[in-house]
Structure 1
Amino acid sequence: MDVESRQVKVVLLLVSSLTIMSMITISASLPDMTKAFSDVPNGPKLVKLVLSFPGLFIALSAIVAGMFIDKFGRLRLLGISLVLYALGGVSGYWLDNLYLILAGRAVLGVSVGISMTIVTTLVADYYQGKSRQKFAGLQIAVMSIGGIVFITLGGILADISWRAPFLIYFFSLLILPFCYLYLKEPKRDLKAQESQTGIKSPAIIWFVFINVMLMWILFFIIPIQIPFYLKDLGVEKNSMIGLAIASSTFFSAVAAFSYSRIKDKFSFHQIFALGYFLMAVAFAFIAAGHSYFMVMLGMLFAGLGMGIMIPNANIWVMQLAPPEIRGREIGRLTTFWFLGQFLSPLLLLPFLDYFSQSQLYFVISGILIALSLVFMGVYYMNSRKAQLE
């Protein structure tokens, strides 16, 4: 198999696009869903949970999937995960019970936990060095572009009915045959696999995992709460709400396309510092603006920040993880990624009982500035230590 072939890359990128699609495609539907289930106890809170609920099950399934694919191979579970993706995702179109919709979202989460772990591990298996660095940036860029398409389409369909965007999840079935046509199982060192119990990654990998979780806790408030914020500002069209959220993914794609060139000049720590600073600027604009234009400007900076931080985390983990336990470590990365998305509304939305939305965004901006300073501090400490040695 020629891993540099266009077909292999396109299939990997299409499977990758399912990840972002799983979470935010229905974002523009949330306000209308809230009205539809207004008679359900705690209905508004449960509707917001619909968006982030898959994250919990992605987190739970990814770590298990990582261990299984190291032991049994990458592709055996991929087909099953794509079928589950369609079934769990589309179920929301037909279901009238909010709790059953949440159950369907749980199935969707399990499928993404498996498929994302597999595709990210395959990227690490197929590519090395500069090629891996370039493809990781391309992967996040295409995921972001897919997000633009799916969010915009979701916004348009949400103007027809809040149920209509759920039909987009059928897309996974279109990808399924091409996975088996073009992707091949990487060769594995069976002896190394048998003795992998003694193999460990450097301890710093846990620092990366926790940072990824924190990154998503802070960022994921955007697709969850911005639709309601824009409604409060007088924006009525769901398509405009979808466009606002999609714009962040567009600028994320722009930044991710440039990641390889950025990484050539800066360290992992510096890139995280820059990413957090850009996100801090984003939340400050959203908080202070009180207008659709200022929210869009905030989406620009938020997208740029996430666009460099996501591939940065992926490449760092790929570099730290020994090949024998690569699937397990990437499974853990996926777990912390989506655990952050799941925890985001649970940790941040209760503060809206005490703060206005603008005040909450200002607080988040301050936290992001602090994180940026922490990473720059660690970078300078490491630089000084290296000079002394």
Structure 2
Amino acid sequence: MEKRNLTIIFLITLMAVMGVASITPAFPSIIRHFNISPPQVTKLIIVFTFPGIFLAPVVGILADHWGRKTILLPSLLLFGLAGTGCFFTKDWEILLILRFFQGIGAASLGSLNVTLIGDLFSGEKRTEVMGFNASILSVGTAAYPFIGGALAMAGWQYPFLLPFLAIPTALLAIFYLKNPEPGKPQKLKDYLRRTWKNINKKTVWGLFIINVLLFVVLYGAYLSYFPQLMEERFGATALQIGLFMSGFSLVTAITSSQLKRINSRVTPKAQLNISFMLYLVSMLILSVTSEWWHLIIPLITFGLAHGMLIPGIQTLLVGFAPLSERAGFMSINSMVLRLGQTFGPLFIGLFYTLGGTEIAFAGGAIVSLVMLVVSRFMVKI
């Protein structure tokens, strides 16, 4: 049963990261097809992540009240249907509308997968599974750019066929996911009071802020402007862009899979600070690189940072709430990271308008420094 549960959780994780990673290699093709600018194409990210800002806390509360599956299944189905619908439209405005509805479906996926791990496992086993889940997440973010880039060689719309995989995932969850569900629902007032008590801690707020900034770097700088950098500076094709983006994520996957071993040698606080410095190095190099081989260093440093930071933060946060409030608590984390995903492209886009990709990645370096400051003064672990 444990193996079956883990397989389904990992499939949910793969769906949660599909929505952006699979389509970014097609951005240059989409820009040309619709005759839009690089900042405009990032709307495909913004409208997808925006619903999660408001819906994530709601679906978290409902998952604690009605049960995990009750929220998970319609979310997967909507994600799959709206996402696949993007393949069939030729209109930019309709494409954005479908991405918005796909984002509604995705709003719960990134928190419920981690919530299920927290429900099913504890102690060192939880840390180990979080590392494996982050590794699976990174395998997805490694594979999707390559798959999306290969599909985009046939046409900009072909990466939008991938969300259909969420439909069989929903069917598997219906019949085979065996997870504990919260007991008798609490009164809403008591539930909100207890959840707020779990959240209202300086370290938790610090981790939430770091999560916002982390996704500003990931979605604002890397996912939005790395494809543009490769086409502008190196004349790269969609497939080549996907291959390089997969390289970043492959390093992340390997690092995440070793989280248990890393934890035995490096304290959680040190892991955070090392990650921020590695992000800084990668952003600075990407801002000035002019040779293909220069990309090897940010490939490694960004991958190492991401591989430590994502599962590290998730493991720390999931331990702050009991099962009865865990979905609501983790949905707040999902909400704040959606803030980073949504406003990251807008924020880094301001730097892009000032000086192109060079200044965009310099903006990412500034955000990396801010993460280090927040960790120094707010995170006490």
Q: Shorter-chain TM-score: which interval?
A: over 0.9
Query: 2:120 and 2:322 mapped to 1: Cα distance?
Result: 14
Does 2:39 match 1:45?
Answer: yes
Does 2:200 match 1:210?
Answer: no
Match for residue 198 of structure 1?
193
Q: For each residue in 1:146-199, what CA deviation from the matched residue of structure 2 results, as whole angstroms up to 9, or x when unmatched?
A: 222221111011111001111111111221221122212414342766743431
Match for residue 295 of structure 1?
295
TM-score (norm 1): 0.90
Query: 2:257 and 2:371 mapped to 1: Cα distance?
Result: 24
1:95–1:43 distance in 2 versus 1, CA, 3 Å: farther
Match for residue 343 of structure 1?
343
Runs of 4+ in 1 over 6 A off after TM superposition: none
CA positional deviation for 1:219? 2.2
Amino acid at match of 1:290: S
8 Å CA contact retained: 1:75, 1:184? no
Match for residue 31 of structure 1?
28
Match for residue 159 of structure 1?
153
CA positional deviation for 1:46? 2.9
8 Å CA contact retained: 2:210, 2:374? no
CA positional deviation for 1:55? 1.2
Q: For each residue in 1:277-311, what CA deviation from the matched residue of structure 2 results, as whole angstroms up to 9, or x when unmatched?
A: 11111112212321222224312211211111111
1:1-389 aligned at under 5 Å gives the runs: 2=1, 5-38=2-35, 44-190=38-184, 195-199=190-194, 200-201=197-198, 202-204=200-202, 205-220=204-219, 221-369=221-369, 371-372=371-372, 375-376=375-376
Match for residue 386 of structure 1?
none
Query: 1:170 and 1:359 mapped to 2: Cα distance?
Result: 37
Q: For each residue in 1:205-234, what CA deviation from the matched residue of structure 2 results, as whole angstroms up to 9, or x when unmatched?
A: 222112100111122211111111111113
- Which moves more between the two structures, 142-151 or 191-200? 191-200
RMSD: 2.0
Query: 2:72 and 2:370 mapped to 1: Cα distance?
Result: 40
Structure 2 spans left out of the alignment, 5+ residues: none
Query: 1:227 and 1:185 mapped to 2: Cα distance?
Result: 40
Query: 1:365 and 1:257 mapped to 2: Cα distance?
Result: 26
Amino acid at match of 2:97: A
Give SS of 2:63's match: helix
CA positional deviation for 1:111? 1.0
1:49–1:187 distance in 2 versus 1, CA, 3 Å: closer
Q: For each residue in 1:80-117, what CA deviation from the matched residue of structure 2 results, as whole angstroms up to 9, or x when unmatched?
A: 11111111111221111111111111111111112232
8 Å CA contact retained: 2:282, 2:298? yes
8 Å CA contact retained: 2:39, 2:349? no
- Which moves more between the two structures, 137-146 or 368-377? 368-377
Query: 1:326 and 1:374 mapped to 2: Cα distance?
Result: 24
Amino acid at match of 2:201: A
8 Å CA contact retained: 2:150, 2:239? yes
1:44–1:62 distance in 2 versus 1, CA, 3 Å: same
Query: 2:87 and 2:296 mapped to 1: Cα distance?
Result: 30
Query: 2:3 and 2:185 mapped to 1: Cα distance?
Result: 33
1:65–1:377 distance in 2 versus 1, CA, 3 Å: closer
Structure 1 spans left out of the alignment, 5+ residues: 384-389
Amino acid at match of 1:15: I
The structure whose RCO (Cα within 8 Å, separation 6+) is larger is 2
Query: 1:261 and 1:241 mapped to 2: Cα distance?
Result: 32
Query: 2:65 and 2:29 mapped to 1: Cα distance?
Result: 45
Amino acid at match of 1:203: K
Amino acid at match of 1:27: T
1:348–1:366 distance in 2 versus 1, CA, 3 Å: closer
TM-score (norm 2): 0.92
CA positional deviation for 1:367? 4.1
8 Å CA contact retained: 2:349, 2:360? no
Query: 2:179 and 2:168 mapped to 1: Cα distance?
Result: 21
CA positional deviation for 1:71? 0.7
8 Å CA contact retained: 2:52, 2:107? yes
8 Å CA contact retained: 1:8, 1:182? yes
Give SS of 1:210's match: helix
Amino acid at match of 1:80: P
Amino acid at match of 1:115: L
8 Å CA contact retained: 2:213, 2:367? no
Give SS of 1:290's match: coil
8 Å CA contact retained: 2:348, 2:364? no
Query: 2:98 and 2:299 mapped to 1: Cα distance?
Result: 29
8 Å CA contact retained: 2:118, 2:318? yes
- Which moves more between the two structures, 184-193 or 109-118? 184-193
Give SS of 1:162's match: coil
The count of residues paired between Structure 1 and Structure 2 equals 375
CA positional deviation for 1:60? 2.2
